[in-house]
Structure 1
Amino acid sequence: MTRTEWIVHPNRSDIGSDEPGQNGHFRSLTRPRTSATEPCQARVKLPRRLSGVADTDGTVTFGGNDWWFVVGAARTFAREHVDPDVPPPFGFKRNGRWLWWDNTTTEKSILDGADAIDYLREYLARLFPNMTITVTDQR
């Protein structure tokens, strides 16, 4: 194991005035968030206890150009805000075979098949139990 030395730029750690380039400087967003425009989207209606991390309509949307990004972001969010005990990652390829979160294996990616959305919904339902999930594929 090699030791790594990290150097932090001084304006990121020095206590100073609330000015651009200083640690205390921030900007607030006054405009509402725009909705995701990515072709693959999963929107989850969060319970009231998670309203602090939800959009104004009480949902959170995970979007990306592919479903891999969507399930990765959703899993990270669920582990952080819903329950740290989440299912394994959706899937990965090892030695030419796909291994999936539910302990199944396939020769081809299930995301390339006709039932891909059903598998995604099942995985998201495990990440967000008892929450309404809407999946949109505009590819």
Structure 2
Amino acid sequence: MRQSEELLRHHGIRVTEIRKEIVETLLSRESALSCKEIKELIPGEFDRVTLYRTLNTFVEQGIIHQIAGGEGTIRYALCSSGECVTHHHEDRHIHFRCTACGLTFCLEYHTPPKLEVPKGYKLGSFEISATGLCKTCS
């Protein structure tokens, strides 16, 4: 069984050809991809609405997470921790956008930064975004 099928079944999602193609496309890339980039990388014709719905299902089921791009584009990357569940993402990483090539990467960190919030606030989660040069461009 292919890794894409295992991942879909593990998350209780029915396996279809387009769902396998989307997962395999994300598995094949180091960087996060926009909806447009995913559509361009998958051969054949399919409905754009199907792609949006599938991506939303994957986010809801903890297979992928969204990354707000610096240019207003939403990008998608696989959840790598294996601990993400429905509607709750547990990935511990930095979203790093290369200022030269524009690619966005999920960089794992070993010690999460300590974040203190003012008294009376309760921290649920936080995201860390950084920009700079990726290993290819630097």
TM-score (norm 2): 0.27
- With CA pairs under 8 Å and 6+ residues apart, which has the higher RCO, 1 or 2? 1
